[in-house]
Amino acid sequence: MDYSRFLSVVSASRQGNPERLTHDVAKKIPSAIMLSGDMPNPNSFPFKTASFTIDDGTTIEIGEDLMKRALQYSETSGIPELLSWLKDLQKSLHNPPTANYSPDQGQMEICVTTGSQEGLCKVFDMLVNPGDNVLLDDPNYTGTLAALKALGANIVRVPSDKSGIIPKALKDILFKWRPENGKKPKFLYIIPNGSNPAGISLSTDRKKEIYQLAREYDFLIIEDDPYYFLQFVKTKAPTFLSMDVDGRVIRSDSFSKIISAGLRLGFLTGPKPLIDRIVLHMQVSTIHTSTFTQASDLDLLQTNGLILVVEFYRAQRNTMLAAADKWLKDLADWYVPTAGMFLWIKIKGISDTHQLVMEKALEKGICLVPGRGFHRDSSEPSPYVRASFSFASPIQIDQAFQKLAELIRENMKC
């Protein structure tokens, strides 16, 4: 594929940072005498060792040598051992066709990011010029909406239902596209599992139809999948990455929901020509994701593998569904999420939940998110609220929905 049409003006103008190039090359020569970098002397670092106790009681040690490395600058795209582990992970989970391609064919490449939010932000910076058309369904993740709006993207809303984007509706938009609509959309952004905020998961058939449309109308797919490991179904639907024969999928993964949100570890998987552009941007922004975060997470992953937390969140989801059935049955509508952390609740008899949530619920000590912030036009009223089942205890969830039910009834009397 020729990726040049997809690049923003800024991204296309990025050049390599010679100092980072020297550093990355020199790192490959262990015996090199390093007089090139701006590296602090590791003997000056304050922390000498660290020990982590994990929930099964075992400990993970970071000894002196690893600590000296963990507190030092490292390769922009990620420390080699973690990159290698992540490439093996992606091959085993998704078996991407691009894993065996040559670099100019769009060979699968990976870049570690400071949370998947950094990855998304840099992908959008790489692709969006002001006025570019981009395809999204609605409602959608506020972090993405905010990033795209700031870049001046024209968000083209793709109709969806409780099974996700409707391929026929997407085809209609593309088929009817005329020059007066501006340049063809560059990409479709999608959260394929347990979407934020609606908790929707896209079926295999719809993914295949959408991927074929991407081939036919030549757009990229940004597969933002932080809830991939929080799927409550027996068989996971194949990812867009697993069907990417053209090298047109950029996948964003996150360790926030399965290891730690605060350690800020995510990674991008995509065609090498595009990932290389992201790395150029990283060289002049964060330089790289915290080496300490990478080293400690890698140690955990190599020792324990992927810690499966899905059963905990399934139980939390079921607790919230039981509380909704108990308190909200005649007052609201919702559907059962098959992944993720959110219940998307439509309150009956109310056009906009903003005041109910941001004033009345907060006064009663209940934190929810009003629906209108998840729309492209956040001034549009919304009868929805997003409720997260990830954090509160079962008792708190029950209490919160009991209070919410009281508020809705009070609101109905007004």
Sites for ligand 09M among residues 278-307 (CB under 6 A): none
- Give least dist CB 352 to ligand 09M, A: 19
Q: Which strands, in side-by-side order, build the sheet including 342-347? A: 332-333, 342-347, 384-388, 369-370
Which tokens hold the place of 78? 């990620």
Which residue, 105 or 256, is less far from ligand 09M as judged by CB?
256
Sites for ligand 09M among residues 142-201 (CB under 6 A): 143, 191, 196
Q: Contacting ligand 09M (CB under 6 A), which of 32, 54, 146, 261? A: 261
Which tokens hold the place of 93? 């989970």
* Pick from 222, 268, 275, 224: nearest CA to 249: 222
* Pick from 132, 329, 142: nearest CA to 224: 142
Question: Binding of ligand 09M at residue 266 (CB under 6 A)?
Answer: yes
- Give least dist CB 262 to ligand 09M, A: 9
- Give least dist CB 296 to ligand 09M, A: 17
- Give least dist CB 339 to ligand 09M, A: 11
Q: Contacting ligand 09M (CB under 6 A), which of 6, 101, 124, 141? A: 141
Radius of gyration of the chain, Cα coordinates, nearest whole angstrom = 23
Question: Binding of ligand 09M at residue 371 (CB under 6 A)?
Answer: no
Q: Contacting ligand 09M (CB under 6 A), which of 256, 399, 402, 411? A: 256
- Give least dist CB 139 to ligand 09M, A: 11
- Cβ–Cβ under 8 Å, residues 342 and 389: yes
Cis peptide before 80 (omega within 30 of 0): no
Q: For residues 156 and 342, what is the distance between their CA atoms, to the nearest angstrom? A: 24
- Give least dist CB 400 to ligand 09M, A: 16
> How far separated are the first and last CA of the chain, in Å rounded?
59
Which residue, 390 or 402, is less far from ligand 09M as judged by CB?
390
- Give least dist CB 370 to ligand 09M, A: 12
Which residue, 68 or 354, is less far from ligand 09M as judged by CB?
354
Residue number closest to ligand 09M, CB atom? 115
- Give least dist CB 369 to ligand 09M, A: 7
Size of the site for ligand 09M (CB under 6 A): 14
Site map 209..228 versus ligand 09M, x via CB under 6 A: ---------------x-x--
Helix and strand tally (H, E) in the chain? 14, 15
In three state form, how does the secondary structure of 226-276 look? CCHHHECCCCCCCCCHHHCCCCCEEEEEECCCCCCCCCCCEEEEEEHHHHH
Which residue, 107 or 289, is less far from ligand 09M as judged by CB?
289
Residue 68 to residues 48, 269, 277, 292, 346, Cα–Cα distance (Å): 7, 28, 29, 10, 52
Q: Is 339 helix (H, G, I), strand (E, B) or coil?
A: strand
Q: Angle of helix 115-127 relative to helix 142-150, nearest 10 degrees?
A: 30
Question: Binding of ligand 09M at residue 254 (CB under 6 A)?
Answer: yes
Question: Binding of ligand 09M at residue 370 (CB under 6 A)?
Answer: no
Sites for ligand 09M among residues 74-133 (CB under 6 A): 115-117, 120
Residues forming the site for ligand 09M (CB under 6 A): 115-117, 120, 141, 143, 191, 196, 224, 226, 254, 256, 261, 266
